[in-house]
Structures are given as structure tokens and as C-alpha cells.
Structure 1
Amino acid sequence: MVCRKGVLSVSSATASLHGFRTRSELDRYLEASKIRERAIEMSNDVAGTYNDLKLRIFSKYPDLFPEEVFNMETFRWSFGILFSRLVRLPSMCGKVALVPWADMLNHSCEVETYLDYDKSSKGIVFTTDRQYQPGEQVFISYGKKSNGELLLSYGFVPEEGTNPSDSAELSLSLEKSDKCYKEKLEALRKHGLSASHCFPLQVTGWPVQMMAYAYLVVSPPSMLRQFDELAAAASSKTGARQDIRFPELDGQALRFILDNCEASIAKYSKFLQESGSMDLDFTSPKQLNRRLFLKQLAVNLCYSERRILHRTQYILRRRLRDMRTDELRAPRIFDGFWNLFK
């Protein structure tokens, strides 16, 4: 492996599940985070792959694939080991490869370094974005991933506030009591969305698609003709108009997002409050240490994601307050003009 100074890029690895072995552990430790749903989906994919291999190969050749070795637990472990060590090579159209020793490089959110195939040396080259002193630890970027993605893929959570790519997912949903529920759902499905959808929030803001989704949710029956346009804007599809604005719905849409944001914050706060007494009933030191480790990861993730939600909450409250201030100011200005003509 060659180390040289160069220009930025990002290496990435295919996601896998790290540390969490069972569905009950996912439910227990990732209860508050929306990353739990993705983790469950990944876990089901791994289980499905194993069951398919067991049916087609393992069960037919038990002498070659004894169950004490080729079982679900070892398969999950090997799957995690494999996919957490795959490196995507930009110069080879994103092909993935296993690179010996490369997995020993630790991740840092502050660097933009990458691994790639170098045709001249016919080897994998490690490109750094800065000079390193002898004996200094060299870091690499595992990609622009949120803390939740880093947890599932590599089994760690960066320190709160240190990951500029961190995000927290906020779920928004249509209400079944909506008079136009059927029409709105039809519009969403037409553009690849569902009655419930998650949007990534960052400290710097949220995607414009979320506001379009909120507009659709709070829109009255009189806007039936705009449902399709709003659903398209919420879908991130290429060509869809993204700068949709309905000032008359701004207040309702922002309040709708704020209510969901605060409900999500409450879940995080509840988990953090209850986490102190969690996992104190294990007598096995090995089991206890492992559970405490998973709990600490979950707590760290909760703090980082709740921080983003709190920032979103602050922005939403400020916007709503400014809107109310403007509404109160308008009659005063009108009264001022009226008094001039008395």
C-alpha cells in the first residue's frame, strides 16, 4: 500500500449489522431512533440469505457444512466482517474489493481521504489530504455517513457534534381521518411514496421535499388539483418542481412538522431517562459487558440525533414566532396609515 498526499475523495463500504445479534436487541437499544427500521430490514435480509443457503446447500451437504459451524450466529458474524471491510474503488466504476490491512485504518470525520486502485502501480493507493508526522496515527474517511449508519456498518458512534454528515430521520405521516386521505395517498404512491415517510434532518436544515410533504398533509380539499404536484415535489424525482410555496399553508405545515419533531424528541428523552436502569439484571460478566457496550452506543446515538432534532425544533419555533409577529405587525401598520387620514 502506498501513502501519498492528494485530493479528496471518499471510500465507502456496504452496510452491515454490527454488534446487534437479535431483533430483541434492535428493539431494546434502538427503540427511539428511526435507524432501527433500517437495521431490522438489514437483519431480515441477512436471515433470508442464510435460510436460502441452508435450504439450497447447507442442509443437502451436512458433512461439508456442519450446523455447529454454518449456523445463523456465525453467518451474521461473517457477514458483518465481510461487508464492513469492503472498499469501493472510484476508478473502477465503484467496484468493491477486500483490501488486506485497510480495515485497520480508523475513521475520522475531519479527514477526506480514500483508497483507490492505481493503474501505474497496479495496487491499492491510500491518498491522504494532509501531511502526517512519523508515529502519528493516520485516519481515513469511511464515507459521508450519519452516526446511525456508522453504528450499523462499523459498530461505533462518533462523538456528539463532530460529524458534519450526521443526520436524524423524522417520520411524517398522513392522518387517516383526513377527508382527502385516499386522494393524497394515491398521489403519493404515484410518485413512489407512502402514507408515512422519513426525511433526514441535519443541523444545517432539512430537505425541501419535507416541506412539500407537509404541505400535502395539511392541504384542504379545495387544493385537490395540487395534490399531484405536491406529491411530485416531495418525491425527489428528477424534473419535479422543488420550489413550491403556499404561504397560506406555511403556518400549518411548520406546526405539523414541529409536532412530529417534538414527539420524536420525547421518545429519545424517555429512552435516555430509562437507560440508566437498563441491563442491570445480568449475572454473567461477559454478557453484562457486551450489553453495557451496546447500551452506551445507543445512548451516544440518541444524544447525537436528539441534538439535531432540538436544533430543528428551535428553527421551527422561531419561524412560527416570526410569522405571528408579522401577522400582529400588519394591522398596526394599517392602523398607522388610517390615523394619518383621520
Structure 2
Amino acid sequence: MANTKADDGENEFDHAVETAVVTGAAGSVGSWVTDRLADDGVEVVGLDLNLPEGTRSNAHFRSVDLTEQGPTWETIHEIDPDAVIHCAAISGPLDDPGTRVYENNVMSTYNTLVAAGRADAEVVWTSSQAVYGPLFAAEPWVPDDLPIDEGTELRPEDPYGTSNAAGEEIAAMVARRYGVSVTTLRPTSIYTPGEYRARPQREGFDLSSAELSGNFWSYVDVRDVARMAEAALAADLPGHEVFCCTADENHLGHPTAELIEATGHDLPADHGLSGDESAFSNAKAEELLGWEPAVSWRGVEEETSSHPEWL
């Protein structure tokens, strides 16, 4: 791992992006992406239903309902950005009706990505590990191969995962039709500073009574998600590329294979899991983007702030 500190040093962004649109800019992921790009000197226009109360240098905000095609297309056409980073979504499928989750996520992704393609803007957007299926599944199950990577079959079992799978088809279509670079990020469960204490307490974890976690206890820090979005813009890869976005290790500190077996589930015969490494592979991101996770739960559990200071 690169390091275990929340501050991963100076930004190393090196790409001709002067203006970027960030959707969901007041949300838990979009706000950190906005923060990082603004630190890079990029002029950020943040789109969200709710405008932030604070102000941020190099950033200003507009209230837009991304499920409405007209306002979304008009806004992105007017801004004419070099890049669009789409982070807006309903990500709590257990808190909203499935129809609302699916319709909101698919329509907002379609409207935003097509508008970006028409503006000849580079695109990065956040899908989810939920496209693989075990997360929010009706019954717990383990994929045929571990660790999970970008080639693992997509088998979503819920409206949220299915909306992201549909979004990935939209992403591929936009790359083909408009000839722009489109990068899909598939984060595992995203932790933000200050949330780590609220996660399952490792000290009280009982392996003998453990139940299978749909994310296989994998996670990624929100600042590392923002760093991957930044790395994708810098790489400017042609066509549509997909990357798993995960920390190197699970958040319990136990061997991952041992955790899965303890829940009564069989491991693939030739699995490649070693120690507490994540059940999701970030090897492709390291190879093509030069990205490695910089933040581990081991170094940031005492943090208390959950949002950028300006939010």
C-alpha cells in the first residue's frame, strides 16, 4: 500500500482539463471529487439538487435535476466543459422504492453522459460493486472466481445494481457514438472520514457467528475514489474502460478466505485470495492508471470530519 495516511501528499494531476462539471457535487462522493479537482486548479461547476451552504474557491454550483433532459443538456452545453464527472445517484436502495432508484439513476446517467458526449467532454462516472450481484442479493452467494475483477460476470439482483449495469451500457454507447473517453469506476463500499468508527467494531467481531457480507468486507476511502477519478482524467484512455476501485485489504483485518468459509460458504477451488486482501482486485487500475489506494482504515479511524471543510 502506498501509505496509510489521510493526506496522500501533493496532487499529481497532469491533464488539459480547465473546466469540469461534477454532478452530485454536494454529496458524499461528488464533494470530495470537487475538492480534489479544485485543488488542482480546475474550474469546477458542481450540479446538485441541493446547493451547498459554503463556498469553495475554483468552484461554483447550480441546482439541476439531472433526471430532466432539457435542463441537464442546456446546462452542460452552456458550460461546455472539458470533462464531466458524474457522481450523482440514489445509492441507498434500502431507503427508497426500487422504481425510484432505478428511474433516477438510469435517467440521470443517460442525460448527463449523452450531454457530455455531445459537448465532446471526457467522462468519468461512478458505477458500483453492486453490478456483480452479491451486494443486496436475495440470498448470500459467492462468485465463481475470487478476487472479483473487471471481467467477472455482472449478475445484479436489485434495482440499484441493475441501474448501474444499465448505466455502464450507456457509458459504452456514449464512447462509441461520440468518440469521447468514458471511464467507469466500480467502487466497493465507500467510507468517508469520520465514518470509520461507525463501522463494525473489529474488537467485537465473532468469527463463529459471522454472516456473509455482500461486499465481502471490502471498502474504499472516498478520497481514493476522488484520486481515481483524477487519475482517469489524466490517463485520457480511448473508448470505454472499467476499473474496480477498492482498498487493498478488507476492513476487519481477518484473512478474507477464512471469513468467507466461516460463514458456511465454499470458496472457488483456485481462488487467489491471500491474507486480508480485498475480494476485489485493483490491479487493472494500478496497471493502466498508475493508481494505488493511499488510505487504509488502519490509519484514519480517529478522524472526525466527514465532509470537505467548505461543505
TM-score (structure 1 length as normaliser): 0.21
Between Structure 1 and Structure 2, the one with more helix by share is 1
Q: Which has the larger radius of gyration?
A: 1
